[in-house]
Copies of this chain bind each other. A is one copy, B any other.
Amino acid sequence: MNHLLETAEKIRTMEIRGAGRIATSAAFALREYAETLKAESMEQFDSMIADAANILIDTRPTAVSLPNAVRLTTKYTASTVEDARQEIINNASRFIKQADEALEKIGTIGARRIHEGDLIMTHCNSHAALSVITTAFEQGKNISVIATETRPRKQGLLTIKHLNDFGIPTTLIVDSAARYFMKYVDNVIVGADAIAVNGALVNKIGTSQLALAAHEARVNFLAAAETYKFSPNTILGELIKIEERSIDEVIEPRELENLQNVIVKNPAFDITPPEYIDLIITDGGALPPGMAYTVIKEHLGWELKDLV
Query: What residue of chain B has the Cβ atom nearest to residue A217's Cβ?
Result: B218
The proximity string for A residues 83-121 relative to B, scoring 1 for CB distances below 8 Å and 0 otherwise, is: 000000000000000000000010011111100000000
Contacts of A205 in B (CB 8 A): 174, 176-177, 180
* A190 interfacial contact with B, CB 8 Å: no
Given A177-B206, A180-B208: A285 in contact with B304 (beta carbons within 8 A): yes
- Minimal beta-carbon separation of A267 from chain B (angstroms): 6
Complex contact B179–A239 (CB within 8 A): no
Of B105, B209, B234, the contact of A209 (CB 8 Å cutoff): B209
Interface window among A30-38, A55-63, A66-74, A276-284: A276-284
A286 neighbours in B (Cβ, 8 Å): 197-198, 234-237
> Separation in Å of the A164 CB from the closest CB of chain B?
4
Distance A236 CA – B284 CA, assembled complex (angstroms): 8
Counting CB contacts under 8 A, is A20 at the interface? no
A260: Cβ under 8 A from any B Cβ: yes
Query: Mind listing 28 A-B residue pairs with CB under 8 Å?
Result: A111-B237, A112-B236, A112-B239, A151-B174, A157-B251, A161-B259, A163-B262, A164-B258, A172-B250, A174-B205, A175-B176, A176-B270, A177-B205, A180-B208, A182-B218, A197-B286, A197-B287, A209-B209, A218-B218, A235-B285, A273-B278, A283-B308, A284-B304, A284-B308, A290-B290, A291-B293, A294-B304, A299-B304
Bound form: Cα–Cα A266–B176 in Å: 10
Within 8 A of B (CB), among A226-281: 234-239, 250-251, 255, 258-267, 270, 273-275, 278-279, 281
Give the residue name and chain of the B residue nearest to A278 (CB): B198
- Interface of A (DSSP majority class): mixed
User: Does chain B have a CB within 8 A of A138?
Assistant: no
Which B residue sits closest to A249, measured CB to CB? B174
A199 within 8 A of B: yes
A50 at the interface (CB under 8 A from B): no
In the complex, how many angstroms separate the beta carbon of A20 from the nearest chain B beta carbon?
18
Nearest B residue to A263 by beta-carbon distance?
A: B171
Q: Flag if B250 contacts A160 (CB, 8 Å).
A: no
Give complex CA distance A180, B269 in Å.
9
Measured between beta carbons, the chain B residues less than 8 angstroms from A160 are: 259, 262
- B281 x A168 contact (CB < 8 A): no
Of the candidates B112, B218, B235, B290, which one forms a contact with A237 in the assembled complex, judged by CB atoms under 8 Å apart?
A: B112
Q: Are B262 and A172 in contact (CB under 8 A)?
A: yes
